[in-house]
Amino acid sequence: MSRASYLTDAYRTRLETTVTSRGDSGLVFDDTIFHPSGGGQPGDSGRLRHAGGTLRVTTSELVDGQVVHRLEGEAIGPPELGAPVSMEIDWDRRYRFMRYHTALHLLSGVVHQRIGSGITGNQIGEDRARMDFSIPDFSKERAEELIEATNEVAARRLPVEVRFISLEEFAQRPELVRVVEGKIGADGEARLIDIVGFDVQADGGTHVRSTAEVGRLVLDKVENKGARNKRLYLRLQG
């Protein structure tokens, strides 16, 4: 399994690495800063520079435990196996995903503390994000209250930290699992996102270092997805 620097340093935008695997439509590297799609977060895009030129990465996906970097175009030319490559992510796009992802964790924490877990899914987009709930009597008024409570927590400028615990400890702490998809561990450990003093949960995504970076959230709309399932859309201001 290749290394994954995005799990420990979400702010790293460039990395020198080498090609370890080639497929029909993508490359795998010894290490990567590209976050693969999963857990509601889209895969990163960016560029790969090598001796033969520059390649465009349109997205990245987790396949059999490896981050596959999908390339623009039909055929893969150089670089060859073992070749050195300089990778760079589309930072503005990634940073927006980071802000939205932390915002969803804040909202998840608010819902967990006020109502109980009730979260059935989430998805991050470039211009808005959504979270799905299984909560009776969920209205636009209640959604507005939850968003405002989330903004109040964000304004506290709380540190957001990444830490790891053993899988044994993780198995004994079911409260850490809200909505978990994708890669949440590395080297036999479970990865946690700790919004210090507010909420801790398992997650494999990228996040900002402080809730101050999230900014202010606004409610976009609420959809009824069934008798109990509701969908809340939110946007970042700025």
pLDDT tens digits, 154-182: 999 999 999 999 988 988 988 888 764 54
Asked if residues 38 and 183 have their Cβ atoms less than 8 Å apart, the reply is: yes
Structural domains in the chain, sorted by start: 5-89 (2.40.30.130), 94-237 (3.30.980.10)
Asked if residues 214 and 127 have their Cβ atoms less than 8 Å apart, the reply is: no
Residue 183 has pLDDT above 70, yes or no: no
Q: What letter would DSSP give residue 210? A: B
Q: What letter would DSSP give residue 74? A: S
Nearest residue to 231 (alpha-carbon basis) of 147, 138, 167: 138
Which ranges of 89-161 would DSSP assign to H, the alpha helix?
A: 91-114, 140-154
Distance from C-alpha of 148 to C-alpha of 135, rounded to nearest angstrom: 18
Residue 238 has pLDDT above 80, yes or no: no
Residue 217 has pLDDT above 60, yes or no: yes
pLDDT tens digits, 55-77: 999 999 999 889 999 998 755 66
Distance from C-alpha of 52 to C-alpha of 177, rounded to nearest angstrom: 45
